[in-house]
Structure 1
Amino acid sequence: MPLKKSIILIILILAIDQISKIYIKTNFLYGEEVVVFDWFKIHFIENNGMAWGAEFGGRAGKLFLTIFRLCAITGIGYWLYKSIKNQAHTVLIIAVSLIFAGAMGNIIDSVFYGVIFNTPYNEVATLFPEKPYGELFFGKVVDMLYFPIWSGDLPSWIPFWGGKPFTFFNAIFNVADTAISIGVGLLVIFNKKAFPKED
């Protein structure tokens, strides 16, 4: 797969990711939800930390996480460049392109969203306001895709969680997260093609 097609794929993923995030941020109240199907909802939240909403270390932890992401994206970009240069299998190049695009999408949120959005109370956010909600490197990642495929009480015979309410799938994520997950999935499923053994 040539570099040009890889760049087109990355730009396409980034465009869909950022357009969807900006639309949600400027049209939805925080926590607002639209039911598309019973098993698919648009639910606006923001993630201030790592994957699955984890946080650590306050402001210092947030800054460390953003800097770590910038270092990681540099490494992923180099991996993609070397893979294309060495004419690696198309599966590997597509997978790394998806991971790169997804990581870049969330980095844009973390680095810039704090200075290009505000967070008004009971109103939708404004793009490029006079008083943004944060600082450079301290933005929040916008999430909105929610697939509560099944909700109910678990059978009482299940250890620890039996009889308690449970939702599958309970994570709320975005297009960038989806791209990363698909990229990693491709590497796992097609690992023999992506990483062929040398004779």
Structure 2
Amino acid sequence: MNQRKSLLIIVLILLVDQLSKVYIKTHFILGESHDVLGWFKILFIENEGAAWGTKLSDLLPISESSGKLILTIFRIFAVFGIGYWLWDIIKKQSTRTLILAVSLIFAGAMGNIIDSVFYGLLFDHSNGQVATLFSNQPYGSLFHGKVVDMLYFPLIDTTWPDWVPSVGGQRFRFFEPVFNIADTAISTGVGILIVFNKKAFPKHAEKKQEVADQNA
């Protein structure tokens, strides 16, 4: 895969990701949910932290604002690192599988970085109202934006039977996380690297096989 195809993938993912997020922000109230299918819903939430909504301020003795800033700066450095990796493997003409996977991961990381860096300046809040793009009263500041999530797949939504120890009578949902197009791109890219590892890193796989043969 050449640089042009990689760039096309990145641009398309960023476009779909950002258009979907802007639409949700400007048409949904925070917490609003619309059923698409029984097992698929559009549910608007905002993620102020890392994966699964984890905040640095929950783990370290720092304020939420400082934790958000540190997390955003870390994400920016991570994006630069992934970008350099992508540039390097394209330059070295690595496998199509590897370039595709890293392109997806880079596009997803970029999509969420845009939210974290700019959304606090571009939108007003979504609590009890539909947000306005380019608002005169933005909800945050530079580097303090919230990531927009909306894809929700509660494939199983039921209640544990009363006779089940510890959890009887409690609600059970699978799959519970709410995510976005950028998250999907990252997960797909990582999944490709895991499932098609030998195709992504053929030389590494060959070396491991050679070592195994020598030790046999």
TM norm structure 1: 0.95
Corresponding residue for residue 30 of structure 1: 30
Corresponding residue for residue 78 of structure 1: 84
SS of the residue aligned with 1:78?
A: helix
Corresponding residue for residue 115 of structure 1: 121
Task: Provide the C-alpha distance between the structure 2 equivalents of 1:23 and 1:157, rounded to a whole number of angstroms.
Answer: 44
Corresponding residue for residue 18 of structure 1: 18
* Equivalent AA in structure 1 for residue 77 of structure 2: C
- Larger gyration radius, structure 1 or structure 2: 2
Q: Give the number of aligned pairs.
A: 199
Corresponding residue for residue 54 of structure 2: 54
* Equivalent AA in structure 2 for residue 97 of structure 1: S
SS of the residue aligned with 2:45?
A: strand
RMSD over equivalenced CA pairs, Å: 1.5
TM norm structure 2: 0.88
In structure 1, the gaps of 5 or more residues are none
* Equivalent AA in structure 2 for residue 49 of structure 1: G
Corresponding residue for residue 96 of structure 2: 90
Q: CA deviation at 1:153?
A: 2.5
* Greater fraction helix: 2
SS of the residue aligned with 1:127?
A: coil
1:134 aligns with 2:144: no
Task: Provide the C-alpha distance between the structure 1 equivalents of 2:166 and 2:86, rounded to a whole number of angstroms.
Answer: 44
Corresponding residue for residue 45 of structure 1: 45
Task: Provide the C-alpha distance between the structure 1 equivalents of 2:21 and 2:36, rounded to a whole number of angstroms.
Answer: 17
TM-superposition CA deviations, 1:104-157 (whole Å, max 9, x none): 000000000000000154220000011111000000000000000001123578
Task: Provide the C-alpha distance between the structure 1 equivalents of 2:127 and 2:184, rounded to a whole number of angstroms.
Answer: 29
In structure 2, the gaps of 5 or more residues are 58-63, 208-216
Determine if contact 2:29/2:126 at 8 Å carries over to the other structure: no
Corresponding residue for residue 68 of structure 1: 74
SS of the residue aligned with 2:11?
A: helix
Corresponding residue for residue 148 of structure 1: 154
Identity %: 60
Determine if contact 2:56/2:71 at 8 Å carries over to the other structure: no
